[in-house]
Amino acid sequence: MASPASAERTAASREPAAHAPPGALPAHAPDPDEIRDSAYANPFAPPDEAEAAVEARPRSLFGEILDWMLAPLLLLWPMSIAVTYLVAKTIANGPFDRALETDVYVLARQIQPVNGVAELSLPASTRDFLSADNVDKVFYQVLGTRGELVGGDADLPLPHEDDRPQPGIVEFRDDMLHGNDIRVAYTTVEFPHAAGALPACEDAPARPAKTACGAPVLVQVAETLDKRSGLANDIIKGVILPQFVILPLAIVLVWFGLSRGLAPLTALQSNLRARRLDDLSPLEARRAPPEIEPLVTSFNDLLERLAQNMELQKRFIADAAHQMKTPLAGLRTQAELALRQEVSAEVRRSLEQIATSSEHAARLVTQLLALARAENRMSGQAFAPVEVSELARLAVRDWVQPALAKQMDLGYEGLEEPVMVDGNAVMLREMLSNLIDNAIRYTPAGGRITVRVRVDPPNQQVHFEVEDTGPGIPPSERTRVLERFYRILGREGDGSGLGLAIVREIATMHGGTLAIDDNVYQAEPRLAGTLVRVSLRTLEPIQDLP
């Protein structure tokens, strides 16, 4: 039912809308709580960024460090290839440029003045020297003082007028000829003229563009770049191909080194996972690397505070058990003593109800305390080797009288050889007591209950089984009956709905499993019967037992 305040607020929020003209805005700003649950809310709104940030799981430390180590390596590798290519070209140009420089000097020496005009006289040896290259094409050009072609290839490009070197100095440039990349070495030669021998520029023949009348003789030798490219490629291959082997090896070594570097964290993780649930002893901070020593120290502080809280809780549980069970036991005793007196039938019924209720209340207190101890898996419950057959016999003995009171056949099937499990004897006995108690409560009078202990050598497990001839538990209810205070509707019995919840928690505390099934040995066709099995790991390897 809505509170008056909420009803009033709802009515007030609807009233303006009833009198407002179509298309008018609300008279008041809607409350944020109303927006969330009303038509103001946008059903297509994106999820809250804060919630998305909370749900986002951080990356692993290993992956983060690996990325920061490998990313620069993978980014710098292409840059190193580019630098290697430039260096390889420089190295490849060196010897071939020196060869071109030699060709230029040889060609310059073949220029002779004839009647004040430069002439080129090439002996056969010089022609062979210039054309001796079997890989690249070699071109040369000599231009006279008036820009006339003295010899060589007229199509060879000319350098810019500002780039002409001083006589005797060889310079280099990259250029194009007939669609091919070429490397050009060029120089100028100072040509001595006889007095009055220099012809007038107006009478000079047509000269190439960008040449000056009376300029020094220009000498150029060029070649294609096949040899240079081949040498540069060989250098690049010699440098890069080993990198294709070294880079994966470097990645593997980085991976291995990072794994070794994070080994202390892995060891710490394994140490924590291998700990028992009741082990609250501090970690050895001095054995941790300095980088994680503060983390270990903080964790030890947490363990210390947790141990103190667990100790306080244990004391509270013990005090609560004493303070609650003692008055209930006294109440039941007084009721039973009063029943021995001569009292009226009405008073007797009341006293019997008091005795029964106090007994149920004492049992409920015991179960609640057991559930609290079982759910608190770090409450300091001491684990020790426990012999399961003797434990089961003692648990069955505790319930002989209640079974006889309902004329039930309570039996035990155990093992001849001792089998040990690592656990808490008190909690395991409480687990079996709850299973037997449930079976007695819900099995009709005259039924049969069997407590069985058997081993499973292939899985190195021991099974505690309690089977009865009661109504059974439908498969659809077998998950819900493990919830606290849940009872199947229509079932007779005065149980509290805590028994199987306690059994599940104690089994989980001991690293075991709980299974519920039908009783396959049920002889009564109208009753399914119940078989509850708790499986625990054995403390020592077991062989097939008789």
Q: What digits encode the pLDDT tens for the residues 66-97?
A: 888 888 888 888 888 888 888 888 888 888 89
Range of lowest pLDDT (166-180, 418-432, 497-511): 497-511
| 184-214 confidence digits (pLDDT tens) | 999 998 876 544 444 444 444 444 444 445 5
Residue 4 has pLDDT above 50, yes or no: no
| 350-399 confidence digits (pLDDT tens) | 888 888 788 777 777 777 777 666 666 555 567 889 999 999 999 999 99
Which residues contact residue 34 at a Cβ distance below 8 angstroms, ignoring those fewer than 6 apart? 13, 40
432 domain residue, yes or no: yes
pLDDT of residue 286: 79
Residue 177 and residue 96 share a domain: yes
pLDDT of residue 39: 41
pTM: 0.45
Domain count, the chain: 3
Residue 479 and residue 398 share a domain: yes
Nearest to 463 by CA among 374, 395, 389: 389
The better pLDDT of the pair 344, 421 is held by: 421
Residue 84 and residue 15 share a domain: no
Interatomic CA distance for residues 114 and 144, integer angstroms: 12
Residue 462 and residue 518 share a domain: yes
H-run or E-run covering 324? helix 293-339
Residue 226 and residue 101 share a domain: yes
Tokens of 524: 């009564």
The better pLDDT of the pair 508, 47 is held by: 508
Residue 304 has pLDDT above 60, yes or no: yes
pLDDT of residue 14: 42
Interatomic CA distance for residues 193 and 212, integer angstroms: 16
CA 105 remoteness from chain centre = 70
- The amino acid at residue 25 is L
Range of lowest pLDDT (215-224, 227-236, 316-325, 369-378): 369-378
How is the chain split among helix, strand and coil, in percent rounded to 5? 50, 15, 35
Interatomic CA distance for residues 366 and 418, integer angstroms: 29
323 domain residue, yes or no: no
Residue 486 has pLDDT above 60, yes or no: yes
Residue 226 and residue 170 share a domain: yes
When the pLDDT of each residue in the chain is averaged and rounded to a whole number, the result is 78
SS3 assignment, position 470: coil
pLDDT of residue 400: 93
SS3 assignment, position 506: helix
103 domain residue, yes or no: yes
Interatomic CA distance for residues 344 and 354, integer angstroms: 15
Residue 17 has pLDDT above 50, yes or no: no
Residue 519 and residue 435 share a domain: yes
Residue 531 and residue 424 share a domain: yes
Tokens of 230: 């081949």
| 266-303 confidence digits (pLDDT tens) | 888 888 888 876 678 888 887 788 888 888 899 899 98
Residue 34 has pLDDT above 60, yes or no: no
Structural domain of residue 36, as residue ranges? 4-43
Which residues contact residue 184 at a Cβ distance below 8 angstroms, ignoring those fewer than 6 apart? 100, 156, 157, 159, 172, 173, 174, 175, 220, 221, 222
The better pLDDT of the pair 16, 175 is held by: 175
Residue 57 to residues 60, 63, 67, 69: CA-CA distances in angstroms?
A: 9, 13, 17, 22
252 domain residue, yes or no: no
Residue 172 has pLDDT above 60, yes or no: yes
pLDDT of residue 524: 59
477 domain residue, yes or no: yes
Nearest to 212 by CA among 258, 267, 145, 273: 145
